[in-house]
Structure 1
Amino acid sequence: MDDETLNLYDDDDDDYLSGNDMMDPSEDGHDSVQDDSTNAAGNRVRRRRKRRHSKCWKHFEIVGDKLPDGTTKVICKHCEYSYFIDLSNGTNTLLRHSRVCSKNPGSTPRSRKFDMMVFREMIAGAIVEHDLAYSFVEFRRIREAFEYANPGIEFWCRNTAVSDVRKIYENEKAALRKVLSEVPGRICFTTDLWRAITVEGYLCLTAHYVDNWKLKAKILSFCAFPPPHTGYSIAMKVMELVKEWGLEKKVFTVTVDNASSNDNMQGVLKTQLRRALVCNGEFLHVRCAAHILNLIVQDGLAVISDALEKIRESVKFVKSSESREQMFQTCVETVGSKKEAGLVLDVATRWNSTFKMLSRALPLREALRNLSEVDPSYKCFPSELEWSRGALICKFLAPFAEMTNLVSGSSYPTANLYFMQVWKIECWLRANETSDDETICQMVETMKLKFDKYWEDYSDILSIAAVLDPRLKFACLEYCYDTLDPLTSKAKVDHIRKKIKKLYGVYKKDPNSTTASPSEATLVNSIPAGYGDFYAFFSQNAGTGKSALDVYLAEPVLDMAAFKTLDVLRYWKNNATRFKELSRMACDVLSIPITTVSSESSFSAGSRVLSKYRSRLLPSNVQALICGRNWLRGFEVTSDSDEEEEEEEKEGEEKEGEEESGRKKRSK
Structure 2
Amino acid sequence: METKAKCKFCYRSYVYHPGGATTTLNRHLANCTQYQNKLAKAKAQGTLNFGPDDGNSLVVNPTEYDHEHTRELIAKMIIAHEYSFRMVEHKWFNILMKWMNGNYEFIGRKSIKNECMRVYESEKNQLKRSLKEAESISLTTDLWTSNQNLQYMCLVAHYIDENWVLQCRVLNFIEVDPPHTGIVIAQAVFECMVEWKIEDKVTTITLDNATNNDTAVTNLKAKLLARKNSVFDPNYFHIRCAAHIVNLVVNDGLQPIDNLITCLRNTVKYFKRSPSRMYKFVEVCNNYSVKVGRGLALDVKTRWNSTYKMLDTCIDYKDAFGYYEDVDTSYVWKPSDSDWVLFGKIRPILGTMAEATTAFSGSLYPTANCFYPYIVKVKRALIGAQQSRDTYLMSMAAAMLEKFDKYWEEKNNVMVIATILDPRFKMRYIKWCFAQIFDPVRCEIEINDINQELERLYNKYEILNRQKMGDNGMNRQSTIASLDTTSSMASIASDFQSFLQSIVTESSKSELLIYLDEPNEPIDNKHFNLLRYWNVNCHRFPVVSSLAKRFLAVPVSSVSSECTFSNAGRVIDDYRSSLKPATVQALVCASSWIRGTYEDNNHPLVVGDDEDDVESIEFPKCMVSSN
The TM-score with structure 2 as length reference comes to 0.75
Residue of structure 1 equivalent to 2:568: 606
Mapping of 1:121-520 within 5 angstroms?
121-183=72-134, 185-211=135-161, 212-274=163-225, 275-276=228-229, 278=231, 280-321=233-274, 324-325=277-278, 327-328=280-281, 337-347=291-301, 349-365=302-318, 367-369=320-322, 371-409=324-362, 411=364, 414-435=367-388, 438-456=391-409, 459-483=412-436, 484-510=438-464, 514-515=468-469
8 Å contact 1:315–1:345 — kept in the other structure? no
How far did 1:497 drift?
1.9
8 Å contact 2:366–2:556 — kept in the other structure? no
What amino acid is the match of 1:617?
L
How far did 1:253 drift?
0.8
Mapping of 1:90-129 within 5 angstroms?
112-129=63-80
Deviation string 1:509-537 (CA, Å, 9 cap, x unpaired) is 22576449xxxxxxxxxxxxxxxx99x99
What amino acid is the match of 1:394?
R
Deviation string 1:199-250 (CA, Å, 9 cap, x unpaired) is 2111111111111112111111112122121111111111111111111111
State how far apart, in whole Å, the 2-side matches of 1:622 and 1:126 are: 16
Two-structure CA RMSD over aligned residues (Å) = 3.5
Bigger Rg over Cα = 1
What amino acid is the match of 2:511?
A
How far did 1:587 drift?
1.3
How far did 1:320 drift?
4.3
Secondary structure in structure 2 of the residue aligned to 1:362: helix
Residue of structure 2 equivalent to 1:574: 536
With over 3 angstroms needed to count, the CA separation of the structure-2 counterparts of 1:331 and 1:414, relative to structure 1, is farther
State how far apart, in whole Å, the 1-side matches of 2:304 and 2:527 are: 29
Mapping of 1:619-658 within 5 angstroms?
619-634=581-596, 639-644=609-614
Secondary structure in structure 1 of the residue aligned to 2:310: helix
State how far apart, in whole Å, the 2-side matches of 1:439 and 1:488 are: 28
State how far apart, in whole Å, the 2-side matches of 1:245 and 1:137 are: 33
8 Å contact 1:191–1:255 — kept in the other structure? yes
With over 3 angstroms needed to count, the CA separation of the structure-2 counterparts of 1:314 and 1:452, relative to structure 1, is same
Deviation string 1:117-170 (CA, Å, 9 cap, x unpaired) is 222222212211222111111223323333444455432221111111111111
8 Å contact 1:116–1:153 — kept in the other structure? yes
State how far apart, in whole Å, the 2-side matches of 1:236 and 1:110 are: 52
Q: Which moved more, 1:110-119 or 1:628-637?
A: 628-637
How far did 1:434 drift?
4.7
How far did 1:344 drift?
0.7
Q: Which moved more, 1:139-148 or 1:597-606?
A: 139-148
State how far apart, in whole Å, the 2-side matches of 1:341 and 1:316 are: 13
Secondary structure in structure 2 of the residue aligned to 1:578: coil
How far did 1:458 drift?
5.5
8 Å contact 2:297–2:313 — kept in the other structure? yes
Q: Which moved more, 1:595-604 or 1:577-586?
A: 577-586
How far did 1:330 drift?
5.9
Deviation string 1:531-580 (CA, Å, 9 cap, x unpaired) is xx99x99xx98853433223333x14415456565333333333222221
Give the one of 586, 599, 615 matched to 2:548.
586
How far did 1:395 drift?
2.8
Consecutive unaligned residues of structure 1, counting only runs of 5 or more, are 1-100, 517-532, 649-668
Calculate percent identity across the aligned residue pairs: 35
Secondary structure in structure 1 of the residue aligned to 2:306: helix
Secondary structure in structure 2 of the residue aligned to 1:469: coil
What amino acid is the match of 1:575?
N
How far did 1:468 drift?
1.8
Deviation string 1:255-313 (CA, Å, 9 cap, x unpaired) is 11111111111111111111126354221111111111111111222243234443333
How many aligned positions are there?
Answer: 525
8 Å contact 1:194–1:202 — kept in the other structure? yes
State how far apart, in whole Å, the 2-side matches of 1:181 and 1:413 are: 24
Q: Which moved more, 1:370-379 or 1:479-488?
A: 370-379
Secondary structure in structure 2 of the residue aligned to 1:286: strand
State how far apart, in whole Å, the 2-side matches of 1:622 and 1:318 are: 41
8 Å contact 1:279–1:506 — kept in the other structure? no
With over 3 angstroms needed to count, the CA separation of the structure-2 counterparts of 1:445 and 1:102, relative to structure 1, is closer
How far did 1:437 drift?
5.3
With over 3 angstroms needed to count, the CA separation of the structure-2 counterparts of 1:159 and 1:369, relative to structure 1, is same
Secondary structure in structure 1 of the residue aligned to 2:167: strand
8 Å contact 1:473–1:557 — kept in the other structure? no
How far did 1:321 drift?
4.7
With over 3 angstroms needed to count, the CA separation of the structure-2 counterparts of 1:102 and 1:203, relative to structure 1, is closer
Secondary structure in structure 2 of the residue aligned to 1:113: coil
8 Å contact 2:142–2:155 — kept in the other structure? yes
Secondary structure in structure 2 of the residue aligned to 1:114: coil
8 Å contact 1:308–1:390 — kept in the other structure? no
What amino acid is the match of 2:304?
W
8 Å contact 2:138–2:554 — kept in the other structure? yes
State how far apart, in whole Å, the 2-side matches of 1:320 and 1:433 are: 42
Deviation string 1:391-419 (CA, Å, 9 cap, x unpaired) is 43333211111112223346476312323
With over 3 angstroms needed to count, the CA separation of the structure-2 counterparts of 1:341 and 1:128, relative to structure 1, is farther
State how far apart, in whole Å, the 2-side matches of 1:293 and 1:263 are: 18
With over 3 angstroms needed to count, the CA separation of the structure-2 counterparts of 1:413 and 1:353, relative to structure 1, is closer
What amino acid is the match of 2:413?
D
Secondary structure in structure 1 of the residue aligned to 2:138: strand
Secondary structure in structure 2 of the residue aligned to 1:227: coil
8 Å contact 2:79–2:590 — kept in the other structure? yes
State how far apart, in whole Å, the 2-side matches of 1:218 and 1:151 are: 38
With over 3 angstroms needed to count, the CA separation of the structure-2 counterparts of 1:333 and 1:167, relative to structure 1, is farther
Secondary structure in structure 2 of the residue aligned to 1:282: helix
8 Å contact 1:465–1:590 — kept in the other structure? yes
8 Å contact 1:304–1:439 — kept in the other structure? no
How far did 1:325 drift?
4.6
8 Å contact 1:303–1:443 — kept in the other structure? no
